[in-house]
Structure 1
Amino acid sequence: MRTMTRLALALSLAVCALPLQAADTPDPERIAFDALSPVINALIQAEDNDDLMKRAEALEETNGLQALALYLAGAREGPRTLASASYKIASLLARRGDDEAALLYLGMASEHGLYPPQLIENPDFNDLRQTPAYLTVLAEAQRLRDAVSPEWAGAVGHVLYPATERSEAPCPPVVIWLHGYGSNGFLDESYQPLADTGAILVGINGTEIVDSLISFRWSAPGFEGTHQAVQKGLDKVEASHCIDRRRVYLMGFSQGALHAGALLAQHPDAYAGALLMSPGGRQPNPTTSKARGKRVVVINGEQEGPGNLQRADAFRTLFGSGNEVQSRVLVGEPEIPDDWQRSLPAALRWMMESGG
Structure 2
Amino acid sequence: MDLRHLSVKPLLVAITMAVSAAAVADTETSAPPSEADVRWQTLSPVANLYLDNAPASEFMAQGDEEKSRWNNYAGALAYYLMATERDPYSSWAPYQAAAALAYLRVPDQADTYLQLADQRGFWQYITMEEDDELAEITESSAYNTLLTNAKLRYPQHAQDVGKAYIHLPKGTAPADGWPVLVWLAGYGTEGSDSKDLAEVLTADKAIFIGINGTEKLDDHRFRWARTDTESTQQAVQQALALAAKSAKLDKKRVALMGFSQGALHSAHLLAEHPDDYCGALIVSAGGMQTAMTAAAPKGKRVVLSYGEAEREGNQALDKKLASYFSKDNQFEQHTHKGGHFFDADWPAKFPKYVEQVLGL
TM category, shorter: 0.7 to 0.9
**Aligned counterparts of 1:44 and 1:339: Cα–Cα separation in 2:** 41
Determine if the alignment matches structure 1 residue 97 to structure 2 residue 115.
Answer: no
Partner of 1:121: 130
Call closer, same or farther: CA 1:16–1:195 in 2, change over 3 Å.
farther
**Aligned counterparts of 1:167 and 1:267: Cα–Cα separation in 2:** 26
CA contact (8 A) 1:289 1:319 kept: no
Unaligned segments of structure 1, at least 5 residues? none
Partner of 2:148: 139
Partner of 1:261: 267
Determine if the alignment matches structure 1 residue 331 to structure 2 residue 331.
Answer: no
Call closer, same or farther: CA 1:235–1:213 in 2, change over 3 Å.
farther
- Deviation readout 1:216-248 (Å, 9 max, x if unpaired): 111132211111111111112222333222221
Aligned-residue identity in percent: 31
Partner of 1:345: 351
CA contact (8 A) 2:302 2:332 kept: yes
My pick for the range that moved more, 218-227 or 256-265, is 218-227
Task: Select which of 196, 219, 222 maps to 2:225.
Answer: 219
Q: Which residue type is aligned with residue 196 of structure 2?
A: S
- Deviation readout 1:320-351 (Å, 9 max, x if unpaired): 11101111111132521212222111110122
Determine if the alignment matches structure 1 residue 294 to structure 2 residue 300.
Answer: yes
Q: Secondary structure at the match of 1:181?
A: coil
CA contact (8 A) 2:56 2:84 kept: no
Determine if the alignment matches structure 1 residue 185 to structure 2 residue 191.
Answer: yes
**Aligned counterparts of 1:305 and 1:229: Cα–Cα separation in 2:** 30
Q: Secondary structure at the match of 1:246?
A: strand
Call closer, same or farther: CA 1:329–1:40 in 2, change over 3 Å.
farther
Q: TM-score, normalised by structure 1?
A: 0.86
Q: Which residue type is aligned with residue 185 of structure 2?
A: H
Partner of 2:41: 34
**Aligned counterparts of 1:246 and 1:261: Cα–Cα separation in 2:** 17
Partner of 2:161: 153
Partner of 2:24: 17
My pick for the range that moved more, 341-350 or 254-263, is 341-350
**Aligned counterparts of 1:161 and 1:155: Cα–Cα separation in 2:** 16
**Aligned counterparts of 2:49 and 2:92: Cα–Cα separation in 1:** 18
- The count of aligned residue pairs is 341
Partner of 2:80: 71
Q: Secondary structure at the match of 1:76?
A: helix
The RMSD of aligned alpha carbons is 2.9
Cα deviation for residue 49 of structure 1 reads: 4.6
Call closer, same or farther: CA 1:273–1:46 in 2, change over 3 Å.
farther
Q: TM-score, normalised by structure 2?
A: 0.85
